[in-house]
Chains A and B, each alone.
Chain A
Amino acid sequence: MDWPRPDVGQLLDQLQPVLERIFRGYGIDVREAATIVEESCRTLIAKRLPQDPLVWLLHDIIARCERSREEKGFEDPSS
């Protein structure tokens, strides 16, 4: 089967306007944001995923942000 070959540059262009909102929302600093984007893109390229690559990339970046926040120990003032 021929798998779609996602154009990562184009995907990043499309996502650019929303990435800031995502990273700010999760309190991710700029250095970590760059690492997250790079790792997500590498995974997207390495794995041939049948899903819409734009949706997958967005979802994966958010999942990594969530994990990062959990690892840092998200402060919960109500606890």
Chain B
Amino acid sequence: MKIHPHDKVLESFLLSLAERDLDLVFHLARCSYCRSRIYYLPRPVETVGEGEAAGGYGPTLEPTREPVESWARAVEAERDEAPELFVELMGHQAGRWDEVLGADSRFHSWGLFELLIERSWETTAQDTLHAEELARLALRLGERLDPARYGAELIEDLKARAWAHIGNACRTRSDLYGAEAAFFSAVDHLDKGTGDAALERAILLDLLGSLRRDQRQFQEAVDLLRKAVAAFLKIGDRHRAGRSLINSATVHYHAGNPEESIPVLYESLDLIDADQEPRLLICARHNLATYLADAGRAVEARDLYRETRPLYRDFAEPFIQNRRQWLKGKIVRGLGNAARAESLFLKAREGFLAEGIPYDTALISLELATLYAEQGRTADLKRLAEEIVPVFASRKIHREALAALAFLKQAIEAEAASLEVIARVAAFLKRAENDPGLKFET
């Protein structure tokens, strides 16, 4: 049928359907995936002669097979060679990379192009400048790739991904203007690309969501991340969808609504592939247990913590182990064991001091302060207050946070620090961590 059926034809067709079939029709109307499936369903019961099955298209499609298969073999070979080429290239001084790339065509490969972009992503957490350097190198390599061999539009799609990673590296080191400009370039390359770069678009949505979060445009961040989750799920990338959900939970936390993060993090746990990124899984579980404990759901937090114990053992570094002690302290406190909570908080606090992390030290000190205030331990509160300000005055902690801590110290010294005052300072510090412009008002 090459024409649109008349309303009356459609109407009589719909009226002829049983309710179940009608539901199916409306589902098909909304779901492009299922619409695509009707082209191969029902499956043929038996295979007819080859020529007949392919009809007039069979002989024409046959010559396509060889070049496509041979190209697939070539690209896979390039992917196999890429790690060695990468090591060879990195063996040269950064200032010589372009010269080496230009002089040796072995480097002009899709495999190396992809690998540089992938390494750029992996490096962002440790070294944002190097991550950007790798992505920019990938872009320059992209300029040297033969568009006739690889496809100009496919190259554009991957350049878009490289720009997205540059944007993320800029954002991570708080260069929000640089990030915005890089994401703009990413969109520009996507427009010149294949037009159906679903993965690149989803990655861009996710990273833009992080940028909006850092710009404190929380609603826009949540909207972008919701779209990213849907886009990743549509292409079957459950792990990345889970990552976007964790990102979304962080937005709720930064917006001062940690309880809204809880259902989002639960959802993410079903999607994350632990084999692919175990650190992401422990991050989701730890944050979830922390928010549960903070929300007074200590039993739920404890059960989740118990399930996570084997994973914690795989991460021996102080960054995770100190936070683990802190979480344990929150849980046992919620379960009514204040003495054990105190010893765990003190242990975590020592760890944070040794690590040189003033902000977390301040937050856990306030957690201890509420514990002492609850128990009426004025002397311990005063001792804690004596310790707090000098420690932070010498560290990298912003002025307003210091002012809040100084206010608390004065209140404690005057024996006027109620639980409410301590909680107010703690809440301020939590918010100020991600919003250095926030003002503390007494």
Contacts and interface: CB of A to CB of B under 8 A. Distances in A.
B69 to A, nearest CB: 5
Contact of B236 (A27, A42, A51, A63): A51
Interface residues of A, number: 47
Nearest to A35: B64
A35 B171 CA distance: 41
A75 B61 contact: no
Contacts of B157: 47
A9 B154 contact: no
A25 B63 contact: no
Interface in A1-48: 1, 5-6, 8-9, 12, 15-25, 27, 30-31, 33-34, 37-39, 41-43, 45-48
B150 interface: yes
A73 to B, nearest CB: 13
A42 B151 CA distance: 8
A49 B199 contact: yes
Q: Which applies to chain A's interface (DSSP): helix, strand, loop or mixed?
A: helix
A37 B60 CA distance: 11
Contacts, number: 119
B55 interface: yes
A59 B33 CA distance: 7
B41 to A, nearest CB: 9
B67 interface: yes
Contact count band on B: 35 or more
B61 A42 contact: no
A58 B40 contact: yes
B295 interface: no
Given A18-B40, A30-B56, 18 more contacts: A1-B276, A5-B76, A16-B53, A16-B54, A16-B58, A16-B61, A18-B39, A20-B56, A20-B57, A37-B61, A37-B68, A39-B151, A45-B72, A47-B199, A52-B236, A59-B36, A62-B36, A63-B196
B3 A75 contact: yes
A32 to B, nearest CB: 10
Interface of B: 2-4, 6, 32-33, 35-36, 39-40, 44, 47, 53-58, 60-61, 63-65, 67-69, 71-72, 75-76, 110, 114, 150-151, 154, 157, 194-197, 199, 235-239, 276
Q: Which of A17, A27, A77 has the largest count of B CB atoms less than 10 A from its CB? A: A17
19 contacts: A6-B72, A12-B61, A16-B58, A20-B54, A20-B56, A20-B57, A25-B39, A30-B57, A33-B60, A42-B68, A42-B71, A43-B154, A47-B154, A49-B236, A56-B236, A59-B36, A67-B195, A75-B3, A76-B3
Nearest to A51: B236
A31 B57 CA distance: 9
Contacts of A46: 75, 110, 150-151, 154
Contact of B53 (A17, A22, A60, A67): A17
A37 B58 contact: no
Contacts of B67: 38
A39 B276 CA distance: 30
B55 A43 contact: no
Instruction: Name the 9 nearest CB pairs between A and B, nearest first.
Output: A51-B236, A18-B40, A30-B60, A20-B55, A41-B68, A50-B237, A62-B36, A45-B72, A22-B39
A8 B72 contact: yes
Nearest to A24: B55
A22 B39 CA distance: 6
A19 B236 contact: no
Nearest to B76: A5
Given A33-B57, A46-B150, A62 B47 contact: no
Nearest to A63: B196
Contacts of A27: 2
A64 B413 CA distance: 73
Contacts of B4: 76-78
A28 B29 CA distance: 23
A54 to B, nearest CB: 10
Contact of A50 (B32, B194, B235): B235
Contacts of A15: 40
Nearest to B43: A17
